[in-house]
Structure 1
Amino acid sequence: MSKFFSETFCSPSPHQAGGAIHGTYFPHIDGLRTFAVLAVVLYHLQEGICPGGYAGVDIFFVISGYLIGGGLIRSLKEGTFSLTSFYLRRIRRIMPAYFCLIAAVLAFGCVVLDCDDLRTLGRTVRSSALFITNTYFSRTTGDYFSPAAEENPLLNLWSLSVEEQFYLMIPLTLWLLWKFREKAVKPVLWGALGLSFFAAAFHMGHLEHNKAFYLLYCRAWELLAGCLLALAPAAEQNRGTGWLRTAGWAGILLPFACYTSSTPFPGYTAIPSIAGAALLIRYGNHGWSGRILRHPLSTGIGKISYSLYLWHWPVIVYWTYVCFDECSPWDYAGMFLLSLLLGFLSWKFVETPFRTTVSWQTPGKAFLATAAGCLMLGFAGEWLKWTDGARDYWHVAANSMEFPEYWKGPAFPPSFGITPPSRAVVEKGNAIQHHHPELGDVTDYPFVLLGKNGQAPSFLLMGDSHAMASSPGFDEAARLLQRSGLFYRARLCPLSGISGSGDSSSLTLLRLMYPHWEHNMELILDWLENTPQVKTVFIHNRWIELVNNHRDTRLKQLVADGLRHTCARLRKAGKQIVLLGPVPEWTFGPRKLMRRNALLNANRTDRLLGGDFNTRQRPVFALLEHMESTGLCRFIPLHGTFHKNGRWLAEDSGQLMYCDDNHLSPYGSRKMVGDIIDQLFPGMERTAAN
């Protein structure tokens, strides 16, 4: 095995990309790549194996900065600098495997994905053609560790976009500095590094993790650290370097073992990985460290690390997709081995030929092929957008399945002496799944009329999208009781009185989760205090977003304080307050599950998100039961409707009870409210519905 790796991977090549000086090969850097890529792969396979493995990408950034910066400085010193030559080497190194990977992912996606997923994949492909996938993911998926991000088979291309954007800037920057003020190279790079680091720290401090994680200006300091390392004088080996090597290994390995997806990252927490990678690049080539990093197995995997990084994530996503998110240890072993195989094949038959074939050393041919590849990818992505994920071209039967849509209620204009609060920031579309139709004609007023028309509303339902999903049940119940009510549909978090809290980080998180929350909440409370006709206020929220087992204790306390203040203020205004929730949530939801079953010729059933409803929702029950114990409100659980004969139900009598994995369908809402109507409206007599 050792001989195989030695002969196959480790023979130095004058054209081997991987030296700070073009034409020079550093085997210990390939060894370092091995540890970085394996950490990332193992983290993506099973977080518990390498909980901080995502930090491997930061090691790649330092290596890239070191090799690219060192090569550029060497060419500037020798007077051989050429932008054309630089970009030609980058194209031959990156583009062939990049285009091959995206084409394969897109082709396989067309076979197994429905129109919704294909539309999303098309947007990613389009952004990859422009090398802006990091910006795209920052805007659309939010947190890198979120479930939405984990389902995108091209998520790992974000780091390639960061590097490509860096490659567009660094050659010209160094050339201008070298030409007009050579002595300013290091100070300018140090200054840019500092600004980038503090930008990352600033966004992390304001809980804007998506910006700190994905965007170049927050990641540039990691690449610049490698550039500055390449500018440092040659390292001298002495007794002290042994300790530096040890510190370098500690810097890269401890984050792998000690960090988790809940660790605030990057920012300050990325420093150990960056420092560790720099120390091993500089001092790791000697002693016991060198023997590890230069071992044929280390350098062999390091050689294929780029292709392995490209292929491992689509393999994991598609394999998990086909298994309906239920994978055994054998599945994970299969994912790992398939990723290694595809990585090797890509390196052997895609990367190597394009980097060594003489015909591809012609700039015109390479640039033309790159432009053509980008145009084809951009067109493919745009076509999937135009055709709504090829809805009417293939998988037509699966794409045409009918599912419950979100309820559309009539707008409530000012009448009955009730004037809706002005200046409310109103949702004009469905904020849950952007491709669904808008939720009715409520654009000028933040209220939807529930129940009997022509009668002054006597109750209000307010909250987030879960309140919206339960509104058709309240509409039908109000008609049965010959009553009228309102649903307040502005983006709302039912907390108040905490804007002056000293817990700035928790407040920032709430503001990110609920934009315009404080503005809208103050408007509705002021309005309720001046609207005596409304006697009862129902508050329905997806409470698990606010309080769950992963939330900080300070945030949970802030939520409890804000909810208590809201209830106290409404109670003082003479209102009766009823807290509602929670409802069971599912792994897939009907649309995703039924289409996947059709596309994969399977017959799987849905399962509860998190496995056990009571365990997952325990913090929610603790909060709502505590609020009821204050005497300020009542708490009515909603989950009883969905649990019959020891089973949790996603459908009833052939009717789907959900629109998606956590929002009720109109049928599910009416059934739920009908089951608890006597608790919601005690003492009211029912009549025939109009």
Structure 2
Amino acid sequence: MDYRRDIDGLRAIAVLPVILFHAGFSWFSGGFVGVDVFFVISGFLITSLLAEDLRQGRFSIGRFYERRVRRILPALFLVILVCIPFAWLWMLPADFEDFAGSLSITIFLSNQYFMNEVDYFNTEADLQPLLHTWSLAVEEQYYLFFPPLLWLVWKTGRRGTLAIVSLLVAISLVVAVIGAATAPDLTFYFSPARFWEIGIGSICALFLLGRKRRQHGGATALGLALIAYAVVFYDKTVPMPSFWTLPPVLGTALVLLFGGSACLAGRLLCAAPVVGIGLISYSAYLWHQPLFAFARLYELSAPPPSLMLLLSVLSLMLAWLTWWFVERPFRRRERPFLPRRPVLFSSFAALGTVILAFGVWGFKSEGLPQRLPDRARAFAAFEEDRSPQRDLCLLTYRAPVPDLPLAGCGLPNASATNPDVVLIGDSHSNAFARQAQIALVEAGFATDALAYSGCPAIGGLVQLNRKSAEGCLDYQRQIVASARSRDAKAVIVSIRWPGYLSGYRYDNGEGGVEAGPTMTADLFDRYNEKRAPDDPQRRADVLAAYEAGLRDLSSEFAVVVVDPVPEVGWNVPRAAALCELQGRQSCRDGHSYDNYLDRNRPILQMLDRLEREGLIHRAEIAPAFCDTIPGGRCRMFDDVGQPLYFDDDHLAHGTGAVLIAPVIVDALRRALLVQEAL
């Protein structure tokens, strides 16, 4: 096929939103659809080359895979080899274990690894340097079966070939739609649910084969508009792949079918700067995520936007160097990059085997903790100091709410199996639930505990940027009904109160800025309005819903409310371990109690008012962590220097949770005494 500058321009339109999305710029909230654009372009170009070879009678599987090796592996292996020493030096064991697993990209299976281990839109995914290689794995899996298939069906003619490919595309789209509705996290990485996107590009190539392509400015502009719409208006709540993937995919198809330099939109794509970025787009795609991930790993808090913008520019600079000195010579077979096919294959196979073996070693050893000094390793271990019932008793959107009660989440005492008290809430509740249950049983209470991650848990509130709205609401209904049906006397409520109310993650004002998207909550009935975090009416409605939810509970149960857990801003085990590795000391000085009060003031005032009315009893936990005086400090470590948190806001099971358990028991006793007196 003839070279088309507008396709290189389209590559630029694909890669820039991906880079800026991964950099964390909110106005590119749907930038991840750039990958979908790449899929369609890839299917179009590869199928065009294969079809032309078949027409000319020169089709060769060996030559095809040689082209793929020269196109993909040199730059990919370079980036991997650069990543390994930084991962060795800067990654804590849990992160290094995931990095080691991602080295399965050497056999193009990293999407399978991430499918089982990493939620693409979770903040923890931002720390994975090779997360983005999942898309390369999907492409190469497509090209394992598609060239032989095309060769087999070619004799049916263009129409027959188009019909067969279209059927496969339709089947893949059905898989995507069903998967998006039933298992969205898994489907995101699942190759058969992505093949239809590449297949759309293949259909475009087969449609144009042997035809004179007509340029059409309106169709090209519409295609770009569809892509732009998805980039700007989509966010991580949009299930991908699904029917929602059609706009950027069909938009790309329109540009491929009708684009060119004869129209205004086509001339935009053909502009020299745009084409230049398109030429280096593959290397830019490879470099950007490692730069971002290692910046986030090295810093103790979220890197500032200025740094992420600088790293975005740096990724383009590294991309140009890689394109000029690595990609071009290998693809053009310039000396000394002119090995024969057997030498080329065997060389990359040997290097890939070494990298893969290193990955297996790192994964099987659970992240090679022996890399770290003893103190750093001890600190890092607290990232895993979570509730032993986290997997069982912390529900997520990945599965519907099961029938309650859930076996294994209760802790009976000697005289009762039905709970006297039920602990409800989000992951903050789950973090300390088991220690609280142990203390409650010792005090003579039978308990049950079930939480829902990212769910405000009361008042019909849900989080806007989660896929869990329906599940969260169902949890709220079922947990109360379960407590009622088993004659529970009391409920204990703990959620991340300030996060849902403000909509923003925590900034401690001292350099500790929690990474991640907004966590805005709103009433389920107003979910589709997507009100902004700063909307004063939304905040008023959330605070009113908090109060209404607690009042409703107090009409049936004695209610204990656990005050907001002091947030830190730094991931405490990670910060402590990195301080040891980097020789820093200042990151271990605690954080401001005044900042805690400022962030939680409306919540504390509301809780104080309800307590004065006798409707709730507060478990005031701040004194366990903070000097509760003006100018006081809140600590991150216990008296022997162990982290009180397993991240930046969840209490560690063996330390922080132990501190607050007696406070909760005391509050429950007070609540039940008042209830008995009524």
TM over 0.5, shorter chain: yes
Structure 2, unmatched stretches of 5+, are 396-405, 504-518, 529-541, 674-678
Mapped to 1, the partners of 2:285 and 2:130 lie a distance apart of 11
Mapped to 2, the partners of 1:263 and 1:337 lie a distance apart of 28
Residue 645 of structure 2 corresponds to 658
Q: 1:605 aligns with which of 587, 591, 614?
A: 587
Q: Percent identity?
A: 27
Alignment-mate amino acid for residue 215 of structure 1: F
Residue 272 of structure 1 corresponds to 247
The within-5 A match list for 1:292-307 is 292-307=268-283
CA 1:185–1:524 in structure 2 vs 1: closer, same or farther (change >3 Å)? Answer: farther
Residue 72 of structure 1 corresponds to 50
Q: 1:348 aligns with which of 320, 324, 335?
A: 324
Residue 370 of structure 2 corresponds to 392
CA 1:557–1:402 in structure 2 vs 1: closer, same or farther (change >3 Å)? Answer: closer
Query: SS of the residue aligned with 1:156?
Result: helix
CA drift of 1:389 comes to: 1.7
CA drift of 1:593 comes to: 1.0
CA drift of 1:157 comes to: 0.7
Q: 1:582 aligns with which of 564, 573, 585?
A: 564
Q: Which has the larger radius of gyration?
A: 1
CA drift of 1:95 comes to: 1.0
CA 1:477–1:164 in structure 2 vs 1: closer, same or farther (change >3 Å)? Answer: closer
CA 1:280–1:428 in structure 2 vs 1: closer, same or farther (change >3 Å)? Answer: closer
Alignment-mate amino acid for residue 270 of structure 1: T
CA drift of 1:183 comes to: 3.8
> Quick check: 1:114–1:599 contact (8 Å CA) kept in 2?
no
CA 1:543–1:61 in structure 2 vs 1: closer, same or farther (change >3 Å)? Answer: same
Residue 12 of structure 2 corresponds to 34
Residue 219 (str. 1) matches residue 194 (str. 2): yes
CA drift of 1:403 comes to: 6.3
CA drift of 1:280 comes to: 2.2
Query: SS of the residue aligned with 1:484?
Result: coil
Mapped to 1, the partners of 2:609 and 2:6 lie a distance apart of 59
Query: SS of the residue aligned with 1:650?
Result: coil
Mapped to 2, the partners of 1:283 and 1:153 lie a distance apart of 37
Mapped to 2, the partners of 1:214 and 1:629 lie a distance apart of 52
Mapped to 2, the partners of 1:232 and 1:465 lie a distance apart of 52
CA drift of 1:544 comes to: 7.7
Mapped to 2, the partners of 1:371 and 1:119 lie a distance apart of 23
CA drift of 1:114 comes to: 2.3
Residue 228 (str. 1) matches residue 203 (str. 2): yes
CA 1:116–1:613 in structure 2 vs 1: closer, same or farther (change >3 Å)? Answer: same
Residue 470 (str. 1) matches residue 438 (str. 2): no
Residue 146 of structure 2 corresponds to 170
Residue 261 of structure 2 corresponds to 286
CA 1:270–1:146 in structure 2 vs 1: closer, same or farther (change >3 Å)? Answer: same
Query: SS of the residue aligned with 1:385?
Result: helix
Mapped to 1, the partners of 2:434 and 2:379 lie a distance apart of 23
Residue 11 of structure 1 corresponds to none
> Quick check: 1:248–1:277 contact (8 Å CA) kept in 2?
yes
CA 1:386–1:511 in structure 2 vs 1: closer, same or farther (change >3 Å)? Answer: farther
Query: SS of the residue aligned with 1:682?
Result: helix
> Quick check: 2:440–2:447 contact (8 Å CA) kept in 1?
no
Cα displacement string for residues 295-343 of structure 1 (whole angstroms, at most 9, x for unaligned residues): 3323222221111110011111212332333434542343123212221
CA 1:556–1:122 in structure 2 vs 1: closer, same or farther (change >3 Å)? Answer: farther
Cα displacement string for residues 476-523 of structure 1 (whole angstroms, at most 9, x for unaligned residues): 8669xx83234435666899x99xx9x9x9998368789999999877
Residue 315 of structure 1 corresponds to 291
Query: SS of the residue aligned with 2:26?
Result: coil
Cα displacement string for residues 576-605 of structure 1 (whole angstroms, at most 9, x for unaligned residues): 343434323334432111011222333353
Query: SS of the residue aligned with 2:492?
Result: strand
The within-5 A match list for 1:247-646 is 247-287=222-262, 288-328=264-304, 330-357=306-333, 360=338, 362-401=340-379, 406=385, 446-448=409-411, 459-463=420-424, 466-467=428-429, 469-471=431-433, 474=436, 483-488=443-448, 509=468, 526=485, 528-529=486-487, 535-541=489-495, 549-551=519-521, 553-554=523-524, 576-605=558-587, 636=619, 638-639=621-622, 641-643=624-626, 644-645=628-629, 646=631
Residue 106 of structure 1 corresponds to 84
> Quick check: 2:490–2:559 contact (8 Å CA) kept in 1?
yes
Mapped to 2, the partners of 1:129 and 1:176 lie a distance apart of 28
Alignment-mate amino acid for residue 595 of structure 1: A
Residue 131 (str. 1) matches residue 103 (str. 2): no
CA 1:85–1:63 in structure 2 vs 1: closer, same or farther (change >3 Å)? Answer: same
CA drift of 1:163 comes to: 0.8
CA drift of 1:348 comes to: 2.0
Alignment-mate amino acid for residue 202 of structure 2: C
Q: Name which of structure 1's ranges 97-106 and 51-60 shifts more when overlaid on structure 2.
A: 51-60
CA 1:684–1:567 in structure 2 vs 1: closer, same or farther (change >3 Å)? Answer: closer
Mapped to 2, the partners of 1:620 and 1:265 lie a distance apart of 36
Mapped to 2, the partners of 1:195 and 1:563 lie a distance apart of 49
> Quick check: 1:567–1:632 contact (8 Å CA) kept in 2?
yes
Alignment-mate amino acid for residue 392 of structure 1: Q
CA 1:540–1:114 in structure 2 vs 1: closer, same or farther (change >3 Å)? Answer: same
CA 1:537–1:235 in structure 2 vs 1: closer, same or farther (change >3 Å)? Answer: same
Residue 88 (str. 1) matches residue 63 (str. 2): no
Q: 1:679 aligns with which of 659, 667, 670?
A: 667
Mapped to 1, the partners of 2:671 and 2:468 lie a distance apart of 41
Mapped to 2, the partners of 1:379 and 1:431 lie a distance apart of 35
Residue 152 of structure 1 corresponds to 128
Mapped to 1, the partners of 2:609 and 2:175 lie a distance apart of 41
Alignment-mate amino acid for residue 283 of structure 2: S
Query: SS of the residue aligned with 1:488?
Result: strand
**Count of matched residue pairs:** 616
CA drift of 1:131 comes to: 1.6
> Quick check: 1:31–1:294 contact (8 Å CA) kept in 2?
yes
Mapped to 2, the partners of 1:622 and 1:200 lie a distance apart of 48
CA 1:318–1:563 in structure 2 vs 1: closer, same or farther (change >3 Å)? Answer: same
Cα displacement string for residues 433-487 of structure 1 (whole angstroms, at most 9, x for unaligned residues): xxxxxxxxxx99544468xx899998435346544543576478669xx832344
Mapped to 2, the partners of 1:617 and 1:33 lie a distance apart of 46
CA 1:586–1:570 in structure 2 vs 1: closer, same or farther (change >3 Å)? Answer: same
Structure 1, unmatched stretches of 5+, are 1-20, 410-425, 433-442, 686-690
Cα displacement string for residues 183-216 of structure 1 (whole angstroms, at most 9, x for unaligned residues): 432122222223333433334445x432343222
Q: 1:188 aligns with which of 146, 153, 164?
A: 164
